Structures are given as C-alpha cells and as structure tokens.
Chain A
Amino acid sequence: MLDLDCIAVHERLKDKFGEGASAADNGRLSVKPDRLTEVAAFLRDDPEFNFDYLNSVTGVDHKTHFSLIYRLTSLSRKQRLDFRVDLTDHDKPTAPSVTPVWRGADLQEREIYDLMGIEFTGHPNLKRILLWDGFPGYPLRKDWVDRDA
C-alpha cells in the first residue's frame, strides 16, 4: 500500500477545484467542508485516485472546533489517503454527508451524530444509533458532564 503524498494530491485538487477547496503541508491534507461532497466524488471517480473504499470517518473534539478525519483506500490502485475536514462552529457543527459517495459512511456518520452531535446534511437516515432517543446531550464531547455526577 502506498501512502499518497498530500502536497501532490493538493496540487491536483487545486487544478480541479481552485485554491480554496483544500490545503496541505507535508503529511496533512485538509478539505473545506463546503467543498467536501465534490472533492469526495472526485477522489472516488478519478482514474488516478480511484478511492473506492472508505475505511473510516472519525470525529474529533478540539474544544474550540470539531474535525472529521476520513481514511480512504483504493483497492484497485493499492494506495491510501487521509484527509481532515475542520468544522469551525463548535455550537452547531454541520458537515455534508459523504454517504451518497461511499455507502459505508452511513452508520459511522450516525455514530458521530449520536455521540458528538455533528449534523450531516444530506444523510438519508440521520438519527441516534447507539443511545436511545431523548438522551440528553452528546457524551463524547469534551464539555459533556455526566448527569449522575
């Protein structure tokens, strides 16, 4: 498996989507949330990338903002790529869903919604998955306080 060079990927994305869609330094690639859907579809369909498999979506609470980390694998081209999406609004974090691009994101995005409260717009069935309906708050946020405490 080959880990793609983030700067080279960023150059390709810049050619395709312009300056504002992504940013990269040595080892990290970040994509703007409002361009996520088109970038994801491009990464899946472009013959040079062909990322046909989404390993995982992870939510991270940085206290000031949230991040989503996407791990992609191309099974046909034997290469990997990680990228990050920063959501600046800590009170009401919203990101576009990648479920229409990779079906495997469905349950993972629901889990992030359930435990961190990040809304995924365009998700076909966004509701709690592990906790029950009516559970107060989102327990994996850093500022969450147990109601029994």
Chain B
Amino acid sequence: MAIEPPRNFAYSDIELDAREGEIVESFLKSHQTAIPDPIDWLNAPPLASNVLLTSVDKVVNWSRHYSMWPVTFGLACCAIEMMCTAASRFDLARFGMEIFRASPRQADLMIVAGTLTWKMAPWLKRIYDQMPDPKWVLAMGSCGTSGGIFKGSYSVVPGFNKIVPIDVYVPGCPPRPEALLQAILDIHAKVDKMSPTRRAVEG
C-alpha cells in the first residue's frame, strides 16, 4: 500500500511550518506582560467638554449601546455557553445584539470564549486589529482571565490580556449564560461613559 507524497505548492510545507513557528515564537516572546484595562481613563474626571458635545455623546452612545455587533471568537467549551446565550432561551437579541458574525469588519465587540493557545494567539490579535474602532473585548471564562485549569501549561496563553486589552472579564468555567449577559450589560455601561471623540483604546 503506497502512500502518495505530500502535494507540492509554491511554498513547501516545511517552509510554511518554519514561518508559522517563527511567528508564534516571536509573538510569544513579545507578549509576556499584561495589557492594562482601558477603563482607567474612562473613570478619570471628565474632560472639559461643552454641553453640545455631551448631548452628541448621549445620542451616539445610545445608538451604539442598543446595536452592538459581536464577532464570535469561540475557541473551546465556553463557546457552547456563548451559543446558548444567543439562542432562544436566554435570547441575546433582547439587548440588541443578535447578529453574531464571523467577520470582524462590522463588529464592535469581540467575545473571546474559550482556551487560547499560543499557536492561535497571533490570529486573535489579527482579528482584533481588523475590527474598526471603537471596539470592546470580553474575555469569557477562567481561561480568559488567567489560563484557568490550563495555567502553567506548555501551550496555553495565561490570560487574554497578554494579547489584547480586555474590557470585561467573566469568571466561571464555563460562566452561566446569565453571567455573560451581565458582562454584556457591563460593556453597555462602559459604552455609555464613552465620548465619540475618543478612541476606545488609546494608542
């Protein structure tokens, strides 16, 4: 029983693997410190802003608040709970966000649900970079906050805040859909504090 050799492409599999390995290793080296929560400046005393601007803020924030488009980033078991949250029993549509899309292009909120490995981490960062401002990130589950039961493992990122700034953390393994709903309401509260003239994430 002969086995055909691997197919040949413009780049050999070996070259592609080596390139991927380089990307993952350099990414791992450059993402060892946690990125702080961007809420700090939101809680600071308000900037000198005039009455007209605050009213504009209110309208813009109201529209963002009630039409939040999430991009799914389901990686592991937590994703099942996220699907349940979006389905009829818990009904995420009550909060104006039933359109789960697999595209980051029109998304405001990334729900990262699951266990993130270092091999996947560069692509999480890429999806995050592709989302237009303003953007929010929700880390779902213990894996998202600290690595969870896999903390100290050879392949798992210990907390998503090593990769992207996280707005809300949801503890639990997995969190109940109610917890995810509560976290989304927390995101809404953050949205209401925003000023459209500032970016969600500084820098």
Chain A positions within 8 Å of B, measured between CB atoms, are 99-101, 103, 106, 124-125, 127-128, 130-135, 139, 144, 146, 148-149
* A100 and B20 contact, CB distance less than 8 A: no
Chain A residues with Cβ under 8 A from B178's Cβ? none
Chain B: number of interface residues, binned into ranges: 20 to 34
Chain B residues with Cβ under 8 A from A146's Cβ? 152-154
Select which of B3, B6, B21, B154 is within 8 A of A133 by beta carbon: B21
* B155 and A133 contact, CB distance less than 8 A: no
Chain A residues with Cβ under 8 A from B20's Cβ? 132-133
* A128 and B17 contact, CB distance less than 8 A: yes
Chain B positions within 8 Å of A, measured between CB atoms, are 1-3, 5-6, 13-14, 17-18, 20-22, 24-25, 118-119, 152-155
Known: A99-B3, A103-B1, A127-B13. A132 touches B154 (CB 8 A): no
Q: Which residue of B lies closest to A101 (CB)?
A: B1
Chain A residues with Cβ under 8 A from B153's Cβ? 146
* A127 and B25 contact, CB distance less than 8 A: no
Select which of A103, A134, A144 is within 8 A of B18 by beta carbon: A134
* A124 and B3 contact, CB distance less than 8 A: yes
Chain A residues with Cβ under 8 A from B152's Cβ? 146, 148-149
Cα distance A8–B154 in the bound complex, in angstroms = 43
Chain B residues with Cβ under 8 A from A124's Cβ? 3, 5-6
* B3 and A127 contact, CB distance less than 8 A: no
Known: A100-B3, A103-B3, A125-B6. A131 touches B25 (CB 8 A): no
* A127 and B119 contact, CB distance less than 8 A: no
